[in-house]
Chain A
Amino acid sequence: MKDKIFRLLLMLSAALVLFICGGMVYSLVSGSLEAFGHFGFFKFITTAEWNPRPDQEEYGALSFIIGTLMTSFLALLFCIPFSISVALFTGEYFRGSKLSVIVSSVIELLAGIPSIVYGLWGFYALRPLMEQLNLSTQGFGILTASIVLAIMIIPYASSLSSEFISMVPKDLKEGAYSLGATRMEVIRHVILPNSGSGVFASYILALGRALGETMAVTMLIGNTENIPRSLSSTGNSMASIIANQFGESDGLKLSSLIAIGLLLFMITAVINFIGKLVISKFNKV
Chain B
Amino acid sequence: MLHIDNPILEFKDVSVSYTPGKNAVNQVSASIERNKITAIMGPSGCGKSTLLRAVNRMHELYPDIRITGEILIDNQNILTMNPMEVRRIAGMVFQRPNPFPTMSIYENVIAGYSLNGIRLSKKEKDELVETNLKNVGLWDEVKDALLKKGTFLSGGQQQRLCIARALALKPEVLLMDEPTSALDPIATNRIEELLLELKKDYTIVIVTHNMGQAARISDYSMFMYLGQLVEYDETQVMFTNPADSRTEEYLSGQFG
Contacts and interface: CB of A to CB of B under 8 A. Distances in A.
Interface stretch (B80-88, B201-209, B241-249): B80-88
Q: Which of A169, A182, A194, A285 has its CB near the most chain B CB atoms (within 10 A)?
A: A182
A179 B101 contact: no
Interface in B71-85: 84-85
A175 B87 CA distance: 11
A169 B94 CA distance: 13
A242 to B, nearest CB: 44
A189 B102 CA distance: 9
Contact of B101 (A176, A177, A194): A194
B114 interface: yes
Given A181-B84, A181-B116, A182-B84, A175 B58 contact: no
Contacts of A193: 102
B25 interface: no
A174 B115 contact: no
A142 B63 CA distance: 46
A179 B98 contact: no
Nearest to A173: B61
A178 B115 contact: no
A179 B61 contact: no
A284 to B, nearest CB: 13
Nearest to B175: A178
Contacts of A179: 87-88, 91, 111-112, 115-116, 165-166, 169
A180 interface: yes
Q: Which of A97, A172, A181, A182 has its CB near the most chain B CB atoms (within 10 A)?
A: A181
A178 B91 contact: yes
A171 B94 contact: yes
Nearest to B86: A180
A107 interface: no
Interface residues of B, number: 27
A180 B169 contact: yes
Nearest to A196: B102
B116 A174 contact: no
B117 interface: yes
A57 interface: no
Q: Which of B87, B92, B115, B117 has its CB near the most chain A CB atoms (within 10 A)?
A: B115
B96 to A, nearest CB: 6
Contacts of A181: 84, 115-116
A114 to B, nearest CB: 38
A178 B61 CA distance: 11
A97 B58 CA distance: 19
B157 interface: no
Interface in A140-180: 169, 171-180
A189 B88 CA distance: 17
Interface in A217-274: none
Contacts of B99: 175
Given A180-B84, A182-B84, A175 B116 contact: no
A177 B94 contact: no
Interface in B133-186: 162, 165-166, 169
A138 to B, nearest CB: 49
Given A180-B115, A185-B117, A194-B102, A174 B84 contact: no
A190 interface: yes
Interface string B37-58: 0000000000000000000101
Closest 7 pairs between A and B when the two form their complex, measured CB to CB? A180-B88, A179-B112, A178-B92, A181-B115, A193-B102, A171-B98, A175-B98
15 contacts: A97-B63, A171-B98, A172-B100, A173-B61, A174-B98, A175-B98, A176-B111, A178-B87, A178-B91, A178-B94, A179-B116, A180-B88, A181-B115, A185-B117, A285-B101
Interface of B: 56, 58, 61, 63, 84-85, 87-88, 91-92, 94, 96, 98-102, 111-112, 114-117, 162, 165-166, 169
Given A175-B100, A179-B87, A189-B115, 19 more contacts: A97-B63, A169-B98, A171-B94, A171-B98, A172-B100, A172-B101, A174-B58, A175-B98, A178-B92, A178-B166, A179-B116, A179-B166, A180-B84, A180-B85, A180-B112, A180-B116, A185-B116, A186-B115, A189-B100
